[in-house]
A and B are shown apart, each in its own frame.
Chain A
Amino acid sequence: MIAWAIARQTVNEALRRRIMWVFLISGVALIFLMPLFGYLTAPKDSQTVLRALGLAAILLAGLFITIVTCIYLIPVEIERRTIYTVLSKPVQRYEFVLGKFLGGFITVAINILFMGVLFIFMLYLQSLKVGLDRGFFACITSGTFAPEMIRGIFMTFFQMLLLAALTIFFSTFTTPIVNFFLSFGIFMVGNLSSVTDSLTTNSNWLVRGTGTVIHYLLPNFGNFNIQNALIHPVAEISNPNEYMRNNIVYALIYSAVLLILAIIVFDRREV
């Protein structure tokens, strides 16, 4: 309950941050203007480009929103000393960390949800087959939803969950600017999952060892990149549900690891 109270307060504060709005508006604008970028004569090709742009916009905006939201959550409390009046109350330090994480992640989730809804809506609009001349109702109901896009948004959601946990962990002992580059850098390297995976079977033992360490130690954000199959529905993937389930479990477990580490560090942090 205390963590939840802290989370609520965190969401209120985070939603007021201007930098978050900058990225949200950029993402929304990109989604809104998607049809202009994706104009192609063949509607199927247009849908393909729109899907690609939309998912990319959500991922990109989500990435920056997550990082810029989470890097400040704990350091700002310490810097502005608002943490004194919180930790002097019967609040366990782990409740504080979890509350901050929850608050940060809920903020990110709100943003992704908003962009996701807009994205699905824009896709639907683009798919309308009947013009307004045939009647508003006929027009508006002539489109097709792309429910598989929700899968993509979901994957981005869990990717950002993992990233939020990573950022919160770093924020317990680094400054926001260092955290920004660390989190961003690890996100990039973590996206090279297939590359690091291929290193684990290299003939050279040193390469193999290093590759194995990197592949399992760093969070594998690349697991969540399933955009291609969603953008090109003709490509079939076997067991997509199982794959998604495994990824969600991975995200939850790895996030828990990071949060425990954050708690261990923050327990010992003097404020």
Chain B
Amino acid sequence: MASNTVRYPQDMTRRLPILASACVALFAASIFMQRLIDPGRQAYHAQENLRTTQAAMGGLNNEFMLLPLLGFREAAAGLLWVRCDEFFHSGDYDAILPLVRLITWLDPHADNVYITGAWHLDYNFTDSSERSDRRYIAPAVGLLKEGIANNNNIPDIKFELGWQDFDKIKDFPGAVEAFKMAIAGPYGDENIFDPAKNHTIPKDQDNEGYWPYAGPLKDIHMLAHAYEKEGRLPDAIATWDHALERSTKLLRDKPKDFGNKSMHDAELHNRAEILQRYYDRYTDLNHDHNNPSKLPAVHAAAANGGGKPGPFDIALRPLIEVPRRYVLKVSGRVNLADGGRIDVRISDWDYKDRVSDKDLRALQPPDLGQTILIDSISIRKDKFAREMDMSKDPKMYSFSNKLGPDKTGLYKIVLSFNTRTTAPHIQDYAGWSGEGLTDAQPGRVFYVSDEAQLATKMIEGEGGKGPVWDGKAVPFPFYGQPPRVIRVTYKINQQQVLGNKPITDADIVPNDPDTTIMLK
């Protein structure tokens, strides 16, 4: 680069300060004009979004779309996500959904957006009592499935789907499938834990000796928990064994790492706890453990092949009152220990999820004209009670279906107790599959017949023989019964919802054959 110090002609030198001053003055004038123009332009753009897109997009201007046109798709997606974050903080949740849709459209590999978007859908659409709007769960599932389809080579979104099933929906078979998918990776093989048997996956020395895609240990842990919740104890134990295999190696490589040590210990503890619980609940082996439960009903059921003195009659006696319009007080008595919960579902009689498992199009808008509420009521001193005030959230609980002979609406109230999701001390005598419980009232005992759930029978593990304990092989008792719940269903109409007519036992109807209705 050549430059030189020069002497400019006088007239040029003379006019420089004049030009510079004029430039500064005019620039200031341009700022002034721009400030005059800005409100006009904002108002002008406001006209473009009286109701729809931009209002739905939280007032986001469509000039953002210029970035994708320039090839900065991912940058646009990133900026929109920043914008979305602002809405998270300000609580303007309605604005988030269309943005999530747009961002994942612009950048299908924005995995965090799928995950956070689904979390948001699951947990942040709530009523005044912080109960989640269940209608958004199906779109969340769709969103995650789309994310998985677009990002098959990472475990994160698959894990999120598993977590959603495990924590929110309580669909444990679904959670198992999702966690298995997360661990298996894009190759998806039955032999997810045995790379030697999996010929399609090469070994990757950098990744703990496992295939390139190896899901992290937390995925394996959650799989084990999901198996346990499902009641597939041998599978749960086998999964803990695989986790232990990995964590042992990690500990060997870094013996002083406190995190590795804690994890290893936790895995050992969880595995032992399953076995302990199993023996405690299903055998008379009380090795180093006193069974504190007052009624070893499970044990009794095992010994007697289902005969007396068990199963234990929990005698669920619900009472549903309507003190005010759209306010349902669900209460009653039940012979269960404190710590248990009664699940409640109040919904349209014909409530249906909008999205099927096969539909991969995410964020199908839910039918916001439908009504559903799912909650659980804790049991204290054999009683349970909660007032569900749905009058404060008319948009969520519109009670507007047109079913029934007078087309004013028909609704369903389901009360359910599922030992699968209850506390361990209740499971101690109720069993994982409800073997130890019953209800003398007719129609209350309900067998879950859903195919996925059926697979969760207690089956023999480890080659047909039981585990070895004190040198003796203990046979796994066989419980051929599918999981069973105690459930009661009411069919009510609009007048009863309004409190004009009482809800009584006469309104009790046979339980819904759809065994998954408490899951959504």
Direct A–B contact in complex, judged by CB atoms less than 8 Å apart:
yes
Residues of chain A at the chain B interface (Cβ within 8 Å): 92-93, 188, 191-195, 197-198, 203, 215-216, 220, 222-223, 226, 228-229, 235-239, 242-243, 246-247, 249-250, 253-254, 256-257, 260-261, 263-264, 267-268, 270
Q: Interface range on chain B: under 10, 10 to 19, 20 to 34, or 35 or more? A: 35 or more
A147 to chain B, nearest CB (A): 19
* Residue B22 lies at the interface, judged by CB distance under 8 Å to chain A: yes
**Contact B40–A228 (Cβ < 8 Å):** no
| CB nearest neighbor in A for B2 | A270
**Contact A238–B41 (Cβ < 8 Å):** no
| CB nearest neighbor in B for A198 | B61
**Contact B41–A257 (Cβ < 8 Å):** no
For A195, the chain B residues whose CB sits under 8 A away are 61, 63-64
* Residue B517 lies at the interface, judged by CB distance under 8 Å to chain A: no
**Contact B19–A264 (Cβ < 8 Å):** yes
Chain A interface mostly: helix
For B36, the chain A residues whose CB sits under 8 A away are 246
Residues of chain B at the chain A interface (Cβ within 8 Å): 6, 8, 11-12, 15-16, 19-20, 22-23, 26-27, 29-31, 33-34, 36-38, 40-45, 47-48, 61, 63-64, 66-67, 70, 86
B96 to chain A, nearest CB (A): 17
| CB nearest neighbor in A for B62 | A194
**Contact A268–B12 (Cβ < 8 Å):** yes
Known A-B contacts A194-B42, A197-B42, A243-B40; A235 and B26 likewise in contact (beta carbons under 8 Å): no
- Report the Cα distance A220→B22, complex, angstroms: 20
| CB nearest neighbor in A for B36 | A246
For B8, the chain A residues whose CB sits under 8 A away are 267-268
**Contact B66–A249 (Cβ < 8 Å):** no
For B31, the chain A residues whose CB sits under 8 A away are 216
- Report the Cα distance A235→B11, complex, angstroms: 54
| CB nearest neighbor in A for B67 | A192
A215 to chain B, nearest CB (A): 7
| CB nearest neighbor in B for A196 | B63
10 closest residue pairs by CB, A with B: A194-B61, A250-B33, A243-B40, A260-B23, A254-B30, A253-B30, A257-B26, A194-B63, A267-B12, A216-B31
A224 to chain B, nearest CB (A): 10
Add 12 more A-B contacts to A192-B64, A229-B47 (CB < 8 A). A191-B63, A216-B31, A220-B34, A223-B37, A243-B40, A243-B44, A247-B37, A253-B29, A254-B30, A256-B26, A267-B8, A268-B8
Known A-B contacts A194-B61, A195-B64, A268-B8; A250 and B23 likewise in contact (beta carbons under 8 Å): no
Known A-B contacts A188-B70, A256-B26; A216 and B34 likewise in contact (beta carbons under 8 Å): yes
**Contact B63–A235 (Cβ < 8 Å):** no
A-B contact pairs, 27 of them (CB 8 A): A191-B63, A191-B66, A192-B67, A194-B41, A222-B63, A223-B34, A223-B37, A223-B41, A235-B48, A238-B43, A243-B40, A247-B37, A249-B33, A250-B33, A250-B34, A253-B33, A254-B26, A254-B30, A257-B27, A257-B30, A260-B19, A260-B23, A263-B19, A264-B20, A267-B16, A268-B12, A270-B6
